[in-house]
Amino acid sequence: MAEKRTKIDIIGDMLMSVIDKGGHIKPTHLMYKSNLSHRQMKVYLEELLQREFVKRTKNKDRDYVTITEKGHDFANKLREIKEFERVFGF
């Protein structure tokens, strides 16, 4: 059985989902790619916006979530941590 994701794991998954889509993603797609419920999506998206890891943008009247420089830096840090944990066998 897979371990329950921590808050940081979910934030990491969300940021990676945005990055995988070229830095912009529709909120609904973000929800599906990050495997979140609608309620969770609202809570964690708010967290990402507060931390300025992402920002809301509009393109042709459609809402998007766009990753910021701060979000990229945090995503890089999470990748480093993941690699460290893998190598040291945590």
- Give contact residues for other proteins (rule: CB under 8 A): 6, 8, 19, 76-90
- How far apart CA 60 and CA 79 sit, in angstroms, is 33
| Number of other residues whose CB lies within 10 A of the CB of residue 85 | 10
Give the nearer residue to other proteins in terms of CB position, either 62 or 86: 86
- CB of 23 within 8 A of CB of 7? no
Give the nearer residue to other proteins in terms of CB position, either 52 or 85: 85
Closest contact distance (angstroms) between CB of 23 and other proteins is 12
Give the nearer residue to other proteins in terms of CB position, either 21 or 27: 21
What residue spans of the chain are helical by DSSP H? 7-20, 27-33, 38-50, 69-88
First to last CA, the chain: 18
Closest contact distance (angstroms) between CB of 87 and other proteins is 4
Closest contact distance (angstroms) between CB of 74 and other proteins is 8
